[in-house]
Every structure is written in structure tokens, then in C-alpha cells.
Structure 1
Amino acid sequence: MEENEPPGPPGHEGPPPPFPEGDEPMDDRSRLAGARRFSEGAGRLIARGGVSAFLGARRFTRSGGAGESGLSRLLELHAFNTAGDAAVAVSLAGTLFFTVPTEQASGQVALFLVLTMLPFAVVAPLIGPFLDRFRRGRRWAIGTTLAVRAFCCWVLAGAVVDESASFYLAALGVLISSKAYGVTRATAVPRLLPAEFTLVKANSRISLTGTAAAAISAPLAVGAAAIGAPWALRYAAVLFVIGTILAILLPERVDSSAGEERVDIAGRRHGVTVSRDVVNALRSNAGLRLLTGFLTIFMAFTLREPPDSMGWGGNATVLMAFVIGAAGVGNALGIVIGSWARSRRPERVVLAVLVLDVVVLVVAAAFFKWPIAALLGLTVGLCQSLGKLSLDALIQRDVAEEVRTSMFARSETLLQLSWVIGGLLGIGLFTVDVSAPIGMVVTAVILLAWLTFVLARAINPPPTPNPAR
């Protein structure tokens, strides 16, 4: 204190001494230390959670003898496949659907479907016979379907901005190779079954693995798409490259065709016909997939701008997420119930789910409110899952081992083609500007006619031809 400055009051002899140079107030230092401890703890927690999730997934894929049989490798491969498909769906949805007005979006999606799904509708029946030529090279056939998608996704990433002709050609390549993957993977499953597994149990585990992988990959793809749509496609390309490597590393027994024979889509083999239950199951699943394809396209546009009659006053995106989430819950429930259903007369289950699908569709057409739309999504997801697993159970039970793999591949081709037809129906009805209830009534009439045909053939099957004549 200077000599002329008056002294301060007692206890306040002047300003507090400054902190030594380089020091900070204790409260700032405490906050920084607390933030550092929190970040380190969060990092350790995330790392431990990631390791636990990875180890849990490994235990799941390898349990029940799947590790020894090689099924675990197919599960890992399928996880990367569905993760990549989810990323492609996120990118294309953001490009074709959510970023433009509804009228323009419908035109773009219509063009997309015409240039991609129509050629596939012609190609799909030829996929199964063509892939029969790779019966001793299934690993390379599966890997090729993934490698083609990796290349096409990289091309799409460069063409997605201006949507040039290469955009549609690459999208067609992604679609065809994705459907071909389903067929080729189906032919590999019977060769990798553990001793205690049925075909239904194996496919249930494959479906669960794919659902989990898609659920993890979709948010990552959304984050990549936030940077730019090409980045989601590049992310998908990387996933497909990894899947290609995993496909080549599948066990060699996948390529074995010892004791197998070919069978046509009706199940005939040298004049021998498979059980009528399998044929009925194929017909029922075709109807289920047609409805799924229709709702995927038609309801996506309808829920983008929900009509006032639905009674939804909130955000349209939330409603769409709610309905899609209900469908996902139904699909998961179907997978869980599927193991039980296989021992409970699957030939009846597969007919019952088609009846249930049609009934709920009629109800939704008559009372088109948002809770009914969610119920429809739940029902369609449940019925498609149960129908497919029941079909698998019937193929496992009734189809001779030497033709089972070929029959399974043909069934996958039929189901993929049915979805394409349903998608084309959905875009066609939306393009002519019919209301959602009317569109569902039209689809319900088509499915009612199909259901009548399926039930009539199930109750009064035609006489089996005598191959000797």
C-alpha cells in the first residue's frame, strides 16, 4: 500500500494477491478436472459396452454348434449385408423421397421403379436357373452379389446428386444383386446347419441377426447422410466389400452339391411332385409379400402428408416412424414365435396369417385412422415373418433332401418377385391419385381373390398327375 493511500476497513487490507502465473481459480480447475474425469469414464463405459456387445454377438452367432458348422460365418456375412442394405435405403430415401415435394417425389419414385423394378420383374424368374450354374461355387456367387453392390454403391455416390442415367443403372444393379443375394444365401443355409438345428431355427437366427445389424447401421447411415447422401452410399460400399471377403471365407462345404437335384418352382422333379402343403405355403407367402411391397411404397407416400381423416395432428415423420416401428415389432414377434409355430401345424399357420393379413387390411380400408395404420403395420410384419418361417418348416419337413436346396432357392425368387409386383401396384395406385382407403380397398379385393384361390386349392386340391402316363 502506498504511503498516501488510506488504509481499508479492518479485515480488508487491500485486493487479494493475484494467483501465481499459470494457475487458475479453483472452481475452473475443478470443472476442467470433472469434465476430464467424465469424458474418461464415458469413454471407458462405451469401450466396455462395445466389447461386451461384440462378445455377446459372437456368443450368439456361435452358440448351438453354429461356430463348428460354419453357420456363424454366414450370420456375420448376413449382418454386413443387411447393414449395407439399410444404408442404401437411407440414402435413396433421402434423395428420392424426403428432399422434394410429394408430387415431384412420386414422379421420381415412379421413374425409379419403372427403370429398376420392371427389368427385375423380367429378370427375377431367371435368377434361380442362372445361379444353378454356380452350384459348385456358391461362395463366389454370394460374394459376387455383394461385390456388385459395392461397385454400384460407389457409382451411385457419384451420380446421386444429379441423378443421371448412371444413377438408375447403378440402382438397378443394387436391386438385382440384392435379390440374387437372397437366393444364393438360401442355397447355402442347408449346407451349414448344425446337427441340432432345423431350417426354421437357422433362418430365425439369420433374421434376428439381420434385424439387429440394420438397427445399428441405420443411425450410422443417417449420420453419414447428414454430411451428404454420397457418404451414406460410400459407407454402404465399405460394408459390402467386407461382406464380399466374408463370403469367400465361408466353409468349402457351401460349394458342395453332392446328392442334390434340381426342381422347378412348382416343386416337380422328374415327374415327382412335392407336398400340396408346400405349394399352398408358397402361394400364401406370395400374397403376404405382395401386400408388404404394396404397403412399403403406397403407405410411405400417404404418411408423408397424412390425410385429416387419420386423426393425426402431430409431425408426419413421427407417424411414419411409429408405423414402421410397429411393422418392425411385428416382424420381431414373428421371428420369436416362429420356432413355436413350426411344431404347431405350419400348413395351417401359413394359411391363417394370410387370412389375418387380408382381414386387417379390410378393416384399415374401412376405418383409416392412425392407430389402425399402426395395427396394420404390426400385423403385416408379424404375418410375413410367421408365413416365411412356416414355409421354411414345410420345406424342411416335406421336401426331399436332394431337392431341398433348389426348392428353397426357387421359393426365394418367387417371394422377391411378389414384393416387386406389390411395389408396382402401390406406386401405380398413388400415381393415379386415389385416396389411401380406396387404394387399400383395391388391394384388399385383389388379395381376397387370391385368398379364395389359395383356400379353394387347399380344401379341394387338384388330382395329382400320374407320372407314368
Structure 2
Amino acid sequence: MEPVDPIERRAASGPSGRFAAGTRRLTTAMRSGARVTARATANGSQRTGQAFRSFARRDGAGESGLARFIEMHTVQVGADAALTVSLAGTIFALPTDQARSAVALFLLLTMAPFVLLAPFVGPVLDRFRHGRRWAIGTTLAVRGFFCWVLAGAIVTDSPWVFPLALVCLVASRAYAVARASAIPRLLPAKMDLVTANSRIMITGLVGMGLGGALAAGVSRFGVEWSLRLAFATYIFATVLAIRLPAQVDTPVTDATPRIRPPLRSRPEERLRNLPNRVLHAIIIVCGARFLVAFLTLFLIFLTRENPLPGLSTAVVIGAAVAAAGVGNVLGSLLGNKRVAPPPTPTLVTLGIIGTVSTITAALFYALWSVLLVSFVGGVLTQLGKLCLDSIVQTEVPESRHSRVFAWIETTLQLAWVAGGAIAIVLPLEPRIGFGVAAAVMVLGFLIAVRTRVHGIRLQPAGTPPRLTEEPGVASDHRLGD
């Protein structure tokens, strides 16, 4: 070993040498910390993915193919969230800080996609029930393509932004209709329809959170980049849709031949001629949509003109939104039980609770009553829609699922618009506003009860009978009344 020069030893032990040694130790520690962090992140992501897949495949969903549908739907909701974040500053944003006339215009715009959904999209999807995977994939691919086009249109302030966004919204509603029609074909033997719909809703919330967070981060570089993120996510979801199990498509057999239903709905396919149980569920869920829209707009304007003592508008609205969110999550969890609650009694119970909570808010305008009606509205909307979907999937023949779901989605949106319209025309007095909402809820509940017993007797003489299952098509209800 060569001897070390005393001068070099003193230089190494001097200030510069100690600084270099400290820098090396710090660099080594940072590298070790980065490796530990990366390993922990990878392990955490792996455990999260395993927990998600375990949840999606539970109760036979992995064997039936429902788990693959759940994974595709989660990716799709993430793309929807990215698109929503991108359009947050456009004409599709709720103009709560503007005059009521601007809010009225927004309500009309929300109805625009449904002008095509009920009379056109639903019947077209019924025609493609033997190729439902490709129909679902098409709704995703269309949104992906137009997101890419939107990214360029927004940068240049093109007048095509609104039409392009409108096409995306129409395709989104078409996907919702096709999804509802496909779920019964993937239902495991150990699961009922309420649980299956609830599981899809819960995983959708996960996708919404992830997609919205990623889009919010990417949008810092420009809205066009969050739209390109939505494009990439939609394309990935399209591939997953095409690779869904073959049982998503209705097979061509003697019992289910390749038929071409007319694009125009026949009298027995209209809402008034649906089974009483379906009509009863629609009316109650319409009440839920009405209540949520009314609360959303009425509270925003009311808390500005007639605020609660000691509470700002932001605090009250934030608390109400949080209460509604908790109600949404609770509604999904209640539907995801191994033995889900029977749909019709659940809807009746929810209708009564929703009506009572609205009456309470009319009599006692306080923070606790606002939170109560917001929480109940969240539960009623989420769990009610799960029950409605399961009833329709059971009571309506498969060959008519898409058009019936399209009409239902349009009807529910009309209820939402009606709730918002009433909220912006009423005087900003708590007793008057919540009193009118309570009266509408009571009237709707009474109509629902009468419909459950007697139906809606509006069809003229000679009208074809109500919807029944097609000959030779088996109907596995697995659903109590």
C-alpha cells in the first residue's frame, strides 16, 4: 500500500474534504430513500390493484365475465371524468355565479343530448344487440376521437367546441343505455341485479376519482392535454370493450333470431304502457332527480339572499355537497350487499323518507335540515337508480332493453330539468321553496302508489298489451318484489 502524503491527508480532512464526504453521504441517502419510496409505491399500487380485482371478481363475477366489464367501466368513467374536467370552463359548466336566465339556458343545454337518445339511439342499439360489444366500443371510440378533435378546437377557440362536446355527451348517454342492457347477460348465479349494478357504481366512483385527479394535474399544462388524456383513456377502454366475453352479445338462435326492430317505438313500448312495477319505480326515481336538481340550484341562490346565521354560502353549499356525497356512497354500499334489499319495497321506503325530509326542511330551515335532505337525496338518487335498473332489466324483454332505457334516461333528465326550473323561478324564501318541493314529492309519491296498484290508464281502446317476454326467451329474474 502506498503511503499517504501528510499534506493530502490534511487536505482531505479539511473543510472541502468534509463537504465532499457529506455530499456523497447525502447523495447515497437520497438514492436509498428514492429506492425505498419507489418500492413502497410499487407495492402499494400492486396491493391496491389486487384489492380492486378481488372486489370485482367476488361472488362469481370473475367466472361470469362481469369482472372484465367492471374493469372496462372503471376506465370509461375515468375518461369521462377527464372530459368533464376539461369542459369545466366551457358552456357546459353550471353558471351558478350568473343570472337565473343563464342557469335556464344551461338547463336547456343539458336536455340537448336526450333529444336524440330516446327516439334514435335506443332503437339503434336494440338492432345491434347481437354485436353489443362493438356497439359499446363504438360509443367509446367516438368519444375518444372527438376528444382529440376538441383538444385542437379549444386551443383555437373554434365555434365547433359546442357541437363536438354535444356529440361526446350523446355518446356518453348511449354508452349508459348499452351498459344497462349488457349487465343481465353477465350476471353470476350468486348475485342479483341490484348488487351487480351497485358494484359497477362503486368501481365507477374509483375511476372518477383517479381520472379527475389525473386530468386536474395534466390540465395545468393546458386544457388540451387533459382532453388528450381523455382520448388515450377512451381508446384503452375501447380495446377492453371489444375484448369483453362473447356472452355480452345476444346469440343468434331460434329463440333469439336476428331481428330488426323498427326505429320508431310502437305504442306498447312507450313509458305509459310499461309494467306497473317499472312505472312505479320510474316515478319515485324521478322524484329523487327532481329533489337533487332543486336542492342544487335553490340552495345556491337561497344562501346568497337568505343566508343561515353565521354561515357563509360556501360553507353551507360545501356541507350540503359533502352530505349528498356520503349519501351516494352509502346508497352504493347498501346495494352491494351479498343479499341486496328487494327493489320495490326499498323504493317505497326511500320515497317516504325523501318526502318526509323535504317537509322537515320546509318547516325548519337550519343547517341540520339542509344536511338531512341533502343526505337523503344522495341515498335516494343512488340506491333508487340501482333498484330501477334492476327492475327494468327483469321486467322488460331483452330485445327492448335499449329503447326502454333510453326513454327512461330522457324522462329522468326531464325530472332533473323540472327541479332546476322550479328552483330558479320560486321566490327565495325557505318555507315557500321547500314547501313547493315537498308538495311535488308528496304528489309524486301518491301517483307512484296509484300506478303500482292500477297503472296509468291512458291508452285508447285497441292499444296492444303491455310489454311481455318474447316467446322462447328465458327470463331469469333472481329478484324479489
- Return the alpha-carbon distance in structure 2 between the equivalents of residues 195 and 409 of structure 1: 23
- Return the alpha-carbon distance in structure 2 between the equivalents of residues 337 and 266 of structure 1: 37
Give the match for residue 123 of structure 1: 116
| Alignment: residue pair count | 444
Q: What is the letter of the counterpart of residue 358 of structure 1?
A: T
Structure 1 residue 67, shift from structure 2 partner = 2.2
Among 61, 66, 69, the residue aligned to 1:66: 61
**What root-mean-square deviation, in Å, do the aligned CA atoms of Structure 1 and Structure 2 show?**
3.8
For 1:93-138, what per-residue CA distance to the aligned partner results, in whole angstroms no more than 9, with x for missing partners?
Answer: 344588988127x666654543x43333322322222211111121
For 1:141-200, what per-residue CA distance to the aligned partner results, in whole angstroms no more than 9, with x for missing partners?
Answer: 111111121122223333346764312112211211111101001111111122222222
SS, match of residue 309 in structure 1: coil
459-468 or 341-350, which deviates more: 459-468
1:268/1:100 CA distance change after superposition, 3 Å: closer
1:372 equivalenced with 2:372 (yes/no): no
Residues 64 and 186, structure 2, Cα contact 8 Å, conserved in 1? yes
Give the match for residue 162 of structure 2: 168
Give the match for residue 35 of structure 2: 40
For 1:251-293, what per-residue CA distance to the aligned partner results, in whole angstroms no more than 9, with x for missing partners?
Answer: 2222225545979999958xxx875323311222232233334
Percent identity reads 34
Residues 334 and 381, structure 1, Cα contact 8 Å, conserved in 2? yes
450-459 or 420-429, which deviates more: 420-429
Instruction: Return 5+ residue gaps in structure 2 as ranges.
Output: 1-9, 466-481
TM-score by length of 1: 0.80
1:209 equivalenced with 2:207 (yes/no): no
Residues 133 and 249, structure 2, Cα contact 8 Å, conserved in 1? yes
Give the match for residue 421 of structure 1: 414
Give the match for residue 5 of structure 2: none
Equivalent residues in 2 for 1:139-154 (5 A)?
139-154=133-148
Give the match for residue 310 of structure 1: 308
1:334 equivalenced with 2:331 (yes/no): yes
Residues 279 and 451, structure 2, Cα contact 8 Å, conserved in 1? no
For 1:434-456, what per-residue CA distance to the aligned partner results, in whole angstroms no more than 9, with x for missing partners?
Answer: 53745544444333332221122
Q: What is the letter of the counterpart of residue 292 of structure 1?
A: V
1:454 equivalenced with 2:448 (yes/no): yes
Among 358, 363, 378, the residue aligned to 2:360: 363
1:424/1:277 CA distance change after superposition, 3 Å: closer
TM-score by length of 2: 0.78
Structure 1 residue 19, shift from structure 2 partner = 2.9
1:364/1:40 CA distance change after superposition, 3 Å: farther
Q: What is the letter of the counterpart of residue 113 of structure 2?
A: F
1:195 equivalenced with 2:189 (yes/no): yes
1:56 equivalenced with 2:48 (yes/no): no
Equivalent residues in 2 for 1:28-427 (5 A)?
30-95=25-90, 102-103=97-98, 110-114=104-108, 116-126=109-119, 127-160=121-154, 164-257=158-251, 258=253, 259-260=255-256, 268=268, 275-296=275-296, 298=297, 301-302=300-301, 306-307=304-305, 309-311=307-309, 313=311, 316=314, 319-339=316-336, 344-395=341-392, 399=395, 403-406=396-399, 408-425=401-418
- Return the alpha-carbon distance in structure 2 between the equivalents of residues 295 and 171 of structure 1: 26
Structure 1 residue 75, shift from structure 2 partner = 0.6
Structure 1 residue 428, shift from structure 2 partner = 3.7
Q: What is the letter of the counterpart of residue 237 of structure 2?
A: G
Instruction: Return 5+ residue gaps in structure 1 as ranges.
Output: 1-14
247-256 or 453-462, which deviates more: 453-462
Q: What is the letter of the counterpart of residue 98 of structure 2?
A: E
Residues 268 and 274, structure 2, Cα contact 8 Å, conserved in 1? yes
- Return the alpha-carbon distance in structure 1 between the equivalents of residues 419 and 285 of structure 2: 18
Residues 290 and 416, structure 2, Cα contact 8 Å, conserved in 1? yes
For 1:31-77, what per-residue CA distance to the aligned partner results, in whole angstroms no more than 9, with x for missing partners?
Answer: 55444433332221111101111122122222332222221221111
